[in-house]
Amino acid sequence: MKNILCVSHLDKSSISNLLDRAWAFKHLSKLPDYGNAKVASLFYENSTRTKVSFELAAKQLNMKHITVDLTSSSEHKGEALLDTLKILHAMGIQYFIFRHKQENLIQTLSNELKTASFINAGDGMHAHPTQTLLDLLTIKENKQQFDGLKVVISGDIKHSRVANSLIAGLSIMGVSDICLSTPDFFLPVKLDNTVLEPQLDKALEGADVVVSLRVQKERIRGNVDNELDSYRKAYQLTDTLLSKAKQDAIVMHPGPMNRGIEITSAVADGPQSVIFQQVSNGVFVRMAVLEYVLNHNGYNCTY
Ligand code: CP
């Protein structure tokens, strides 16, 4: 069965088609009807944007969608996660939207349950493919093309599945100028397809797109208060720092934001911010992703 586990499993043409379809969903008045498709969301990590946008996306396409309440599921009585999925599958659920803190668990589960389809809604620090697709759609809407863009990513890149997937997605779409700007303690081990400029004011020179990332306290071991204070002083995205970027640069953040840490409210709510556009694009991108998975599994809509 077709899955969406990682951006790097998609090629440029598949991504372009998904973005075009998401854009169409944003503007279509009559939507396709996938009335017999049964979809379940299982979020083992907290979520607002991804969880709700998948729910809305499935509803818009008239799918039968349930969000499994994991606080009251039988896993608390000792049932194995794979058995939970098999039980849902036995009830007719063919498509699973899955978030978990364990990296690559979704890959393992999809190998174990080959007759179901899996969409990765975020696995630990590894990947968040649908976030990347909505980020790419937002960039395309504002910049029309990917060629020649300079993208600066700042924040806790080390612990960020969003950054991993975004760097992969931008590279597939032909963006060659991806600049990371963050202190050593937030730098990933691998820096493929990127350049490093630790001074944010220098990094921002000539930037078309500025991506601010959350400091993910829950993934950092030990006390980070001292680092946070020095981080905020040097790297918080302020109006003054943003003025180093191009005048028409856009500011993105996948959310949830820590206002006053990685970004000021003035920037987050300012004229260059497209943060809430990212959120609304999330629904249309997830409609496109659900349809892509269904169509690639031989499922056609009725209109
Ligand atoms: N960007 C993102 O994944 O947000 P949620 O954790 O709220 O889904």
Per-residue pLDDT reduced to its tens digit, 107-136: 999 999 999 999 999 999 999 999 999 999
pLDDT of res. 221: 67
Concatenating the DSSP letter of every residue in 184-221 gives GGG--S--TT-EE-S-HHHHTTT-SEEEE----GGGS-
By the 10 Å C-beta count (0-12 exposed, 13-18 middle, 19+ buried), 302 is classed as exposed
pTM of the model: 0.96
Sign of the CA dihedral running 257, 244, 277, 19: negative
Task: Count the Cβ atoms, other than its own, within 10 Å of residue 171.
Answer: 18
Calculate mean pLDDT across residues 204-229: 84
* Residue appearing with tokens 């996948």: 254
Give me the chain's average pLDDT, please. Answer: 95
Closest ligand 1 atom number to CA of residue 282: 1
Q: How does residue 229 score in pLDDT terms, banded at 50, 70 and 90?
A: confident
Mutation test residue for ligand 1: of 43, 45, 47, 276, the one with most atoms within 8 Å of CB: 47
* pLDDT-derived band at 216, boundaries 50, 70, 90: confident
Does residue 14 carry a pLDDT above 80? Answer: yes
In terms of Cα–Cα distance, which of 243, 277, 289 is closest to 37?
Answer: 289
CA–CA separation, 158 and 90 (whole Å): 39
| 60-102 pLDDT, tens digit each | 999 999 999 999 999 999 999 999 999 999 999 999 999 999 9
| CA 36/CA 52 separation, integer angstroms | 21
Tens of pLDDT along 253-263? 999 999 999 99
**Token pair 């990347």: residue:** 132
Of 71, 67, 122, 128, which Cα lies nearest the Cα of 93?
A: 67
Residue 6: per-residue pLDDT: 97
Minimum CA distance residue for ligand 1 atom 5: 47
One-letter amino acid of 181: S
Closest residue by CA, ligand 1 atom 4: 49
Radius of gyration of the chain (CA): 19
Mutate to test the pocket of ligand 1, among 45, 49, 132, 253 (most ligand atoms within 8 A of CB): 49
What's the CA-to-centroid distance between 265 and ligand 1, angstroms?
19
Q: Span 230-253, mean pLDDT? A: 96
Residue 57 has pLDDT above 70, yes or no: yes
CA–centroid distance, residue 254 to ligand 1 (Å): 7
Nearest in space to 162 (alpha carbons), one of 192, 197, 123, 115: 123
**Which of 14-18, 47-51, 222-226, 297-301 has the weakest average pLDDT?**
222-226
Q: Confidence band (pLDDT; 50, 70, 90) for 191?
A: confident
* Ligand 1 neighbours by CB, cut-off 6 Å: 47-51, 122, 131, 254-256
